[in-house]
Amino acid sequence: MTCDRLVCANCAGPVSEGRCRVCRAHREQMHQENGLFSMLGSLSPAALAALLLTLIAVALLARQATA
């Protein structure tokens, strides 16, 4: 979700403009929650390692299938 279309209940302005402290706080919270690697940051190290191993295995299988 982005804050482009959200309207602030405090100042009735677009949240993306950050006109008041409520807008700025919510915009900052949205940017922290929706970072590029927010999903990966919430995974445990074991889950990340399993994901990496799975991707390597799929890549090796795909390479063998084309050879």
Rounded mean pLDDT for each run of 10 residues along the chain, 67 residues in total:
77 88 86 63 80 95 87
**Residue 7 sits in the same domain as residue 29:** yes
Domain check: are 29 and 8 in the same one?
yes
- What is the model's pLDDT at position 53? 96
Dihedral of alpha carbons 14, 16, 26, 35, sign: positive
Residues 22, 51: one domain?
A: no
Residue 19 to residue 25: CA distance in whole angstroms: 11
Q: What pLDDT does residue 3 have?
A: 64
pLDDT of residue 30: 79
How far is C-alpha 60 from the geometric centre of its chain's CA atoms? Answer: 28
Tell whether the torsion through CA atoms of 22, 26, 31 and 32 is positive or negative. Answer: positive
Q: Long-range contacts made by residues 53-62, C-beta under 8 angstroms, separation at least 24?
A: none
What's the confidence (pLDDT) of residue 57?
A: 96
- Distance between CA atoms of residues 25 and 12, nearest Å: 15
Is there a single domain that holds both residue 25 and residue 48?
no
Question: 29 and 48 share a domain?
Answer: no
**Parent domain of 7:** 1-35
Would you state the pLDDT for residue 39? 60
